[in-house]
């Protein structure tokens, strides 16, 4: 099995898009991620998966906190900024929730304390204990087969079934 086949198979799993944020002494760092899921209701736990060469990895290990910001369909540019897909450096301002930096306008801002860390293959899984949540209205930005999508544009297809 080659890498492309694995990527293509995983790409058929449609997801939302998040920006993971954390803060260390040299400032706030963000990274676009779709490897995110809810793990447990009691206690409230989530998991994110960060590749071994991502700059944010050591920053989360240092801060022992992170926030998951679930993006709206209006925030594709934000996703591209934090995925390194827009080459020029953009100034981004952050809101605060429970003292942690969060992305303004995100549908859900979820602050976490790292409760466990597991290195698996070329990624590290961080289990986050949820400390605070802020919700806003909006439609989610979607990611499917390597492309950004909008629920509004896809809904005509969904409503056929």
In the complex, which residues of this chain contact ligand FAD (CB under 6 A)? 17, 28-35, 49-51, 54-56, 81-84, 89-90, 92, 143
Instruction: Return the number of the residue (105 or 156) whose C-beta is nearest ligand FAD.
Output: 105
Pick 42 or 120: Cβ nearer ligand FAD: 120
The CB-of-33 to ligand FAD minimum distance in angstroms stands at 3
Secondary structure element (H or E) that encloses residue 144, with its range: strand 141-144
What's the closest the beta carbon of residue 159 comes to ligand FAD, in angstroms?
25
Q: Decide whether 26 or 42 has the Cβ nearer to ligand FAD.
A: 26
Q: Which is nearer to ligand FAD, 31 or 67 (CB)?
A: 31
Q: How far apart are CA 113 and CA 129, in angstroms?
A: 5
CA dist 157 and 125 (Å) reads 34
CA 117 and chain centroid, separation? 17
DSSP state, 73? G
**Toward ligand FAD, which CB reaches closer, 54 or 151?**
54
Residue 42 CB, nearest approach to ligand FAD (Å): 25
Cβ neighbourhood burial of 53 (10 Å; 0-12, 13-18, 19+): exposed
Angle (CA) 58 65 95, round 5°: 110
Q: What's the closest the beta carbon of residue 48 comes to ligand FAD, in angstroms? A: 7
CB 57 within 8 A of CB 20: no
CB of 91 to ligand FAD, least distance (A): 7
Q: Which residue is nearest to ligand FAD (CB)?
A: 35
């Amino acid at each position: 099995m080659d890498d492309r086949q694995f990527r293509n198979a995983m790409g058929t799993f449609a997801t939302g898009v998040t920006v993971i944020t954390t803060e260390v002494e040299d400032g706030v760092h963000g990274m676009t991620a779709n490897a995110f899921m809810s793990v447990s209701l009691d206690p409230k736990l989530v998991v994110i998966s960060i590749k071994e060469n991502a700059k944010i990895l050591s920053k989360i290990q240092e801060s022992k906190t992170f926030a998951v910001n679930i993006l709206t369909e209006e925030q594709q540019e934000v996703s591209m900024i934090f995925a390194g897909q827009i080459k020029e450096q953009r100034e981004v301002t952050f809101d605060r929730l429970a003292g942690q930096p969060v992305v303004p306008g995100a549908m859900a801002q979820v602050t976490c304390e790292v409760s466990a860390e597991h290195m698996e293959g070329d990624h590290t899984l961080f289990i986050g204990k949820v400390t605070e949540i802020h919700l806003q209205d909006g439609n989610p930005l979607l990611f499917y087969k390597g492309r950004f999508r909008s629920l509004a544009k896809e809904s005509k297809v969904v409503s056929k079934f």
